[in-house]
């Protein structure tokens, strides 16, 4: 599961910023994120059957690269983000291709549309209400650590079903998505647009994969 980069940042208690400033930042973040998803779709379409492990390793390395260059070299960080988006397609591509072969492309499209609508709603919530994103992010990150530990333990003791794990993943990354949008509303805490887009992008990928698993599981039971 691709992880968010919250552990590398600090969070003040400011929950709002001038509307002009946040509107410009939000537009940049959403533009970069949307381009990232398009590149990921191309990566999925071109992913080799053995691409999952290679993609995972490259994605982890590129996350560190983006966080290392995000302030000093924003253009390099943007290029690394585009590379990450492509190789994320390799990481998730073989699984998505399996869903398409089994259930058809309509299932993947519905999961993507559901994810997009859900993230739009969470973005609206973050902008309509004054949310202390530091607190929400802390809760979300703690829940993410618990989820990862539970997932590893369940590999040996089998106490989580795939659907249960997907619902938990959906809940955790929904919290992190709200925190990310609230952070943008607060002015970004000094983070670059690329860094903020990376967080939103990783949230979206994890939500999409959880929704896809839930839809696929329901379809297989019908």
How confident is the model over 157-173, as pLDDT tens digits? Answer: 888 999 999 999 999 99
- How many other CB atoms sit within 10 Å of the CB of residue 102? 11
Domain locations in the chain as residue ranges: 6-221
- The CA dihedral of 29, 57, 88, 213, to the nearest 10 degrees, is -110
CB 114 within 8 A of CB 211: yes
Query: In the structure, how many helices (H) and strands (E) does the chain have?
Result: 7, 0
How confident is the model over 104-117, as pLDDT tens digits? Answer: 999 999 999 999 99
Give residue 128's pLDDT: 87
CB 173 within 8 A of CB 208: no
Give CA–CA dist 197/218, Å, rounded: 31
SS (H, E, C) 70-103: CCCCHHHHHHHHHHHHHHHHHHHHHHHHHHHHHH
Tell if the pTM clears 0.85, that is, is over it.
yes
């Amino acid at each position: 599961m691709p992880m968010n980069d919250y552990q590398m940042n600090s969070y003040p208690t400011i929950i709002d910023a001038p509307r002009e400033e946040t509107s410009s930042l939000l537009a940049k973040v959403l533009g970069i994120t949307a381009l990232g998803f398009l590149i990921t779709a191309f990566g999925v379409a071109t992913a080799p059957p053995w691409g999952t492990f290679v993609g995972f390793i490259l994605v982890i390395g590129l996350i560190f690269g983006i966080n290392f260059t995000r302030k000093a070299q924003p253009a390099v960080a943007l290029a690394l983000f585009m590379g990450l988006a492509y190789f994320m397609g390799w990481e998730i591509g073989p699984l998505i291709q399996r869903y398409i072969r089994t259930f058809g492309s309509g299932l993947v499209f519905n999961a993507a549309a559901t994810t997009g609508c859900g993230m739009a709603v969470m973005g609206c919530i973050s902008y309509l209400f004054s949310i202390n994103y530091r607190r929400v992010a802390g809760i979300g990150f703690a829940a993410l650590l618990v989820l990862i530990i539970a997932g590893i333990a369940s590999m040996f003791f089998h106490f989580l079903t795939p659907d249960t794990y997907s619902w938990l993943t959906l809940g955790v990354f929904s919290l992190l998505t709200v925190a990310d949008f609230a952070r943008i509303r607060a002015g970004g805490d000094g983070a670059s647009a690329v860094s903020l887009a990376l967080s939103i992008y990783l949230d979206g990928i994890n939500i999409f994969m959880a929704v896809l698993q839930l839809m696929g599981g329901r379809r297989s039971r019908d």
